[in-house]
Amino acid sequence: MSAATNWQLLLDCAKKLTAAGRTPFTRQQLIQCVQKADPSRGDSSLHPTIQGMTDNAQGGPLSACGEVFHRVGRGLYVLKEDWDGGREDTPAKTLQDAPSGDAIEVTDEAGRTVAYLTGVDEVPRRGGSGTTAQPSVSGGEAAGSSPSEDRPQAAPRGDDSHTRRIGLVGCVKDKEPGPAPARLLYRSALFRGRWSYVERSCSSWFILSAKYGLVHPDRLLEWYDRTLKKASSGERRAWSREVLTELARVLGDLEGVVFEIHAGAEYRNYGLTSGLQERGALVDVPAAGLSFGRQLHFYAIANDEPGPHERQTCSDAEVMGALEALDGQPTKVRACDWPGALTGLEMAGLYSWWVDESGAGNLAEGLALPLAPGRIYAGQAGAIRWPSGTVSATTLGSRIGGNHLRGSVEGSTFRLTLASILSGNLALERIAPERLSSSSEARLTQWMRAHLSVAVHPVPNRSVLGHLEAQVVARLDPPLNLDHCEPSPIRGRLSALRHLMG
């Protein structure tokens, strides 16, 4: 597919959203609109086209067809002509021109009126329907700090795209005597807050150690007394080069990877941020510019409070209904016939994947353990993310049709699980951690279409969906699920295989 075709579809959708009063519009709104018109359009091709169409996107234009969007906030866009054309009443103008902290109402992807605070990123307000301030994404510190890098572009959290999100957490002075796993060596409240934050927001994370550089959280470390605060500029830049080299070695190509950094300017602003950006990565610094005390408060709120929605638990009746739909009397559609007669795919909900006899034999061979045909995996699409309370735009249709059947192992835990097991059987080529060659992804998709079926259970209330998933998965006990299930020989083997893939 050509970038020009994507460009025109995105422009048409942006005009439709604007005409409907949904401005600013979100990146997810644009993608959903395009995929509704043409389901073959994948997220992985639309995301870079949107960036190339945005005049103030980090890293410069990626599209030769022209820049037609202007980014007015985290994940929020307007048509460039509306930005420059003097429409004083447009919400985009208001968002830009209003004093920082003013609440502005815009329309979300569900057509609901939502409040945003100007000058901050989008985070729903706790205890209400609006938003609360989150520190702006920035590569620099407050005035008077160390030399700053260019302001980087943020990327949304969560698993709604194929983008990897890697957390980088700075070390602290207070340490246990050691030796201890690195995550347990540092004992300050600030480090624990950062650790808890990235555990929720990122797919994986590392520690930035002043002595050891890039450190896996489980690596055993001895106590040490070294800090970048006392290092010279040259020493900090040499340390940054070593960290960049190690990141490239561990992760492979950094193009498009989002790095969420929770560390001070002495870690970021001497080559780390600029080096990541030069390699095509995006950088997000959620707590940039905050004092020590304000950082503690920020992490305490983010990690401990439930967010704008009440944490809700599902009822026994909801559990029984889900079990019936996913296991008792499921309406299954073969992957090759997707979406078939399934309904409610525009909603959030639960799903279960099933394998035929021949496919079960392939999986058993890869696991070197018996595995019967039938239900092998269950999951959710669109649950509210805690602790931020962020409402996901994911639907059953986008999760199954996009991430699972037309996606990549980077953007789908289920695909990653299958690839880990079938790597030998399908001769899959791993080109980087959790990344396959395009031909290998195609073979994996072909296998899924030949051997799998799927059942769905729409759930209107996204607030209970996370709890409902845990209850249902625990009862179904699908052999290829790792979370919410008891240990088993298959899960032990699967964990080892997934570690090799990663």
pLDDT digits (tens, 9 = 90+) for 227-249: 998 899 999 999 999 999 999 99
Q: Are 227 and 173 in contact (CB under 8 A)?
A: yes
Q: Who's near 15: CB < 8 A, 6+ residues apart?
A: 79
Q: How confident is the model at residue 148 (pLDDT cuts 50, 70, 90)?
A: very low
N-to-C CA span, the chain: 30
* Better-predicted residue by pLDDT, 418 or 282: 418
User: In this structure, are strands 452-458 and 349-355 parallel, antiparallel, or unpaired?
Assistant: antiparallel
**Adjacent-strand bridge partners of 260:** 167, 284
| Phi, psi torsion values for 168, nearest 5 degrees | -125, 115
E strand residue ranges, 145-262: 165-170, 180-181, 204-209, 213-215, 220-221, 258-262
* Residue boundaries of the structural domains of the chain: 3-117, 165-304, 316-501
Percent of the chain with pLDDT over 90: 37
Compute the residue count for the chain: 502
d(CA 284, CA 257): 11
Distances (CA, A) of 153 to 76, 220, 477: 12, 34, 41
* Per-position b or e across 453-470, b if 16+ CB within 10 A of its CB: bbbbbbbeebbbbbbbbe
Rounded Cα distance between 29 and 45, Å, is 15
pLDDT beyond 90 at 319: yes
What does the CA dihedral 345, 348, 350, 355 come to, rounded to 10 degrees?
40
> Could you report the per-residue pLDDT of 468-500, keeping only the tens digit for each?
999 999 999 999 999 888 889 999 999 999 988
Q: What is the pLDDT of residues 329-379, one digit of tens each?
A: 999 999 999 999 898 898 889 999 999 999 999 999 999 999 999 999 999
H or E stretch covering 350: strand 349-355
**What's the sign of the alpha-carbon dihedral 414, 416, 421, 425?**
positive
Query: Residues 210-219: contacts with CB within 8 Å, 24+ apart?
Result: 210/171, 210/239, 213/239, 213/242, 213/243, 213/246, 214/242, 214/243, 214/246, 214/247, 214/250, 215/182, 216/182, 217/181, 217/182, 217/183, 218/181, 218/182, 218/183, 219/181, 219/182
pTM of the model: 0.44
Query: Is the pLDDT score of 105 beyond 70?
Result: no
The whole-chain average pLDDT of the chain stands at: 78
Token digits for 341?
């007669």
Element housing 91 (H / E): helix 91-97
Residue type, 77: Y
- In angstroms, rounded to a whole number, what is the distance separating the alpha carbons of residues 327 and 228? 55
- Which of the given ranges, 8-12, 13-17, 200-204, 440-444, has the highest pLDDT on average? 440-444
Q: Which residue has the higher pLDDT, 301 or 346?
A: 346
pLDDT at 358: 97
pLDDT interval class at 135 (50, 70, 90): very low
Q: Is the dihedral of CA 442, 447, 453, 457 positive or negative?
A: negative
pLDDT at 129 over 60: no
* CATH number belonging to domain 165-304: 3.40.50
Give the Cα separation of 71 and 25 in Å (integer): 10
